[in-house]
Amino acid sequence: MRKFAIFIAKIIGYLFYDEKYLKGKWFEKTPNGDGWIFVLKCFLWQKIFRINGKVPFPVNQNIRISNYKKLHFHPDDLNNFQGFGVYFQNFMADIYIGRGTYIAPNVGLITANHNPKNPDLHLKGENIVIGEKCWIGMNAVILPGVKLGDNTVVAAGAVVTKSFEEGNCIVGGVPAKLIKKIDE
């Protein structure tokens, strides 16, 4: 039954998704076909019910992506779009996610805030850049202009308002502060 499901998922995948996202470890290196099963699960919500319908890669129905064209990641990290509740608010600036980074559920990546003088308006958007092999803990929020260096761990519930470009560290709190350096 699983082999038949994977066969159907491959047909659906190549018909409805951009082929560049159907490569890498989730499709070529997992013997049980996890990537293809994910395609099958996402198809109904994305292409029939149109939740994230224009997004050219499989996305869980509980994730929100403002502008997929401004979201940059490696196909090996498609797992970041399988979880629950991540919010990619990037309609005014880009989000760059380094290879090997993990994003936990309910994380918010926000590239533009509301104008405090007039909440109907947004301030100018600023890119978010997350380095390679980072780990963003559950319920963390990363605000406009933040740059995280490679191997940065963001503690669960942290609100990251400034950059930690040096990487190799753990940050946490509200607002996030350096908790500990990680030996390279």
* CA 93 remoteness from chain centre: 15
pLDDT tens track for 10-23: 999 999 999 999 98
pLDDT of 176 over the 70 cut: yes
How much is the pLDDT for 168?
Answer: 97
Q: How confident is the model at residue 184 (pLDDT cuts 50, 70, 90)?
A: low
Fold of 63-184: UDP N-Acetylglucosamine Acyltransferase; domain 1 (2.160.10)
Tell me, what DSSP letter sits at residue 92? Answer: S
**Average pLDDT of the chain to the nearest whole number:** 94
Catalytic site positions: 114
CA atoms within 13 A on the CB side of 51: 12
How much is the pLDDT for 114?
Answer: 93
pLDDT tens track for 50-101: 999 999 999 999 999 999 999 999 999 999 999 899 999 999 999 999 999 9
pTM: 0.92
How much is the pLDDT for 150?
Answer: 98
Q: In the chain, where are the structural domains located? A: 1-61, 63-184
Query: E strands within 23-172?
Result: 64-65, 71-72, 87-89, 95-97, 102-103, 108-110, 114-115, 118-122, 128-130, 135-136, 141-142, 147-148, 152-154, 159-160, 169-172
Short-list 145, 140, 55, CA closest to 106? 140
CB of 6 within 8 A of CB of 36?
Answer: yes
Strands 169-172 and 177-181, bridge-based pairing:
antiparallel
Cβ partners under 8 Å of residue 17, min gap 6:
39, 56, 57, 58
pLDDT tens track for 32-56: 788 899 999 999 999 999 999 999 9
Whole-number Cα distances in Å, 64 to 87, 105, 111, 126, 179: 5, 12, 14, 19, 30
